[in-house]
Structure 1
C-alpha cells in the first residue's frame, strides 16, 4: 500500500500547519541524547568499491519477535506535559540527528536503510501505523539495525481537526503496533504536518512519549530536486540540528539520491549522527 493518498493533501496543509507547530515554538531542546553516535572527522571519507564495512551489530531495541501474539502491551511511563515540541538536541560537540517521516515504504525505506548501514549511522523513523501494518519487516529491520522508531499517528491526519478521542485512537493504535513489531513502545511522537495542539501534548505524555519536531526541513516533500535537498541539509548543518526528511508520502527517489550526497558530507565535516537514549 502506498502513502500517496495523503500526498496531495500534504502539499496543501503543510505550510499552514507548520506555522502552528514547530515554527511557532520557543525552541525546546532535547537533552540526554547520544545512545549511539557515528561519523567522526578522523575517519577517512568513504571510498566506492568492494571494500566491506563492519556489519551493524544487532540492536538491543529488538526485544521480542515479529508477532502480534506477544505479551500484553507495556504500561506507559507518564511524562511531564510539554507546551512545545523539542526542536534541537543538546550536548557538547558537533552532534546532529537525522529523522525520516511517513514510512515505512518498500520503494524507498530499504534504500535509506542501506545508506545508513553503509556509513554505520543510526537515525529516527517516525512511522505511520497503517504503513507498519503493511510492511512490518521494515520496522523489524530498523530495530535490528539500531534505529529509533517513533509514533507518527495511524493515518497521518491533521490533529488540529480531530477531537481528543480521535487523536487518542490515532496515537494509541500506532504505539501498539510499533510495540508488537519493533519490540518496545515508542518513546517519541511527532505530529503530522508539525501541527500540535494541547491534546497531542497531553496524550503523548500519558503514553510515555516526548514530542519531537525538527530544526531543518529538507522540503523533500515538495520534490524540489536532489541538489536542493542536499543543499538544505549541508547549509543547515550545525551542532544540535534535527533534520527532517521523508521515506514515504509520495515519490521519495530524490531523498534516496540526496542522502548519498549529504550524509558523507556531514561525516567528513566532523558531525556525529546520534539517536536519543532510551528510558529503561
Structure 2
C-alpha cells in the first residue's frame, strides 16, 4: 500500500490544493445538539439527530449541507474542500489520517491528552473494525472523528456506487464505535471530484483538506516533520499528519516536540465548530 500511496500522492496532491480560492469561514453553533445520521428521506429541515453520548467538546457541523428548507429534497454541495479554518485568535487544527493503529494512535492520544488538546482523526473503516475501543476513547476525550473511506482507494477512479459504499460503510462503523455519525470527510490522496462532493453531502459530511502537509508518510525524520509544522504554523492552518499506514514512530516523536512549541507560541489547537443550515 505504501508504494501505491507514494505514486498516487504525486498525481493527486494538485487536486487537494485546487480549492484554495474557496476557503470559507467556519461558524460556531450550540454544542448541545449533537449531529446525527442524516435522514434517508429529506423533506426539509435539519438532518435528524440521535441520542448520543455527551461530551463537553462535541461540536456541530458547519453550514453548507443537509436539506435546504426553501427547497425540500435538495442538498447543498461543495465544489471544493475546506483548506483552513477562520476564527478568533491564532487557532490551528491538527489532523491525523489512516488510523486507528494500535501501534501509534494510543501514543498520539496520550500526547494530546497531556497537553489538553483536541484533534481530528480521519479514520479508515477497515482499520476501525479491530480498534473500536480507540474511537470510543476519541469520543470520550473530545476529538472529532471523520470519514476517510473504508479501504483508502483513489475515489476518482471508482464508480459512483463504489464511492458511496466506501463512504457509507465507514460512516456506519464510525457511528457504532464513536457514538455519532461523522460530519467530516477527507478524500484519500486529496483526490476530489463531483461525485465525491455530492455523495459526501448526501451522507451529511463536509469536505476538509489541509493547509500544511507534513509528508510524514515519507519518513523524513522527526525533526524534519517538526520543522515543517513550525514553518507552516499560522492562524487558520490545518495540519496533515498520519497515525497509521506505515511506520509512524517519527510522527509520534515529532508531535511530542512540536505540540508544546505551538502552544508556547500562543497557538490554540482546536477542532472546527460546525452548524446545520
State the TM-score, normalizing by the size of structure 1.
Answer: 0.82
Matched residues in 2 for 1:183 and 1:266: separation?
Answer: 30
> How many residues end up aligned between the 2 structures?
241
Q: Secondary structure at the match of 1:245?
A: strand
Matched residues in 2 for 1:198 and 1:179: separation?
Answer: 25
Larger RCO, structures 1/2 (Cα 8 Å, 6+ apart): 1
Q: Secondary structure at the match of 2:24?
A: strand
Q: Deviations over 1:69-102 (max 9, x none)?
A: xxxxxxx944510110000101121000000000
Match of 2:100 among 100, 104, 107: 104
Q: Which residue of 1 aligns with 2:5?
A: 10
Gaps of at least 5 residues in structure 2 are 32-53, 59-64, 68-74
Gaps of at least 5 residues in structure 1 are 1-5, 37-57, 63-75
Match of 2:179 among 172, 176, 183: 183
Contact 2:28 2:275 in 1 (8 A): no
Q: Which residue of 2 aligns with 1:19?
A: 14
Q: Which residue of 2 aligns with 1:131?
A: 127
Match of 1:256 among 252, 258, 262: 252
Q: Which residue of 1 aligns with 2:88?
A: 92
Contact 2:27 2:275 in 1 (8 A): no
Task: Please list every run of at least 4 consecutive aligned residues from structure 1 whose deviation after the TM superposition is greater than 3 angstroms.
Answer: 33-36, 76-79
CA RMSD, 1 decimal: 2.0
Deviation at 1:23, TM superposition (A): 4.6
Q: Which residue of 1 aligns with 2:272?
A: 276
Match of 1:267 among 256, 263, 268: 263
Q: Which residue of 2 aligns with 1:226?
A: 222
Matched residues in 1 for 2:153 and 2:201: separation?
Answer: 19
State the TM-score, normalizing by the size of structure 2.
Answer: 0.83
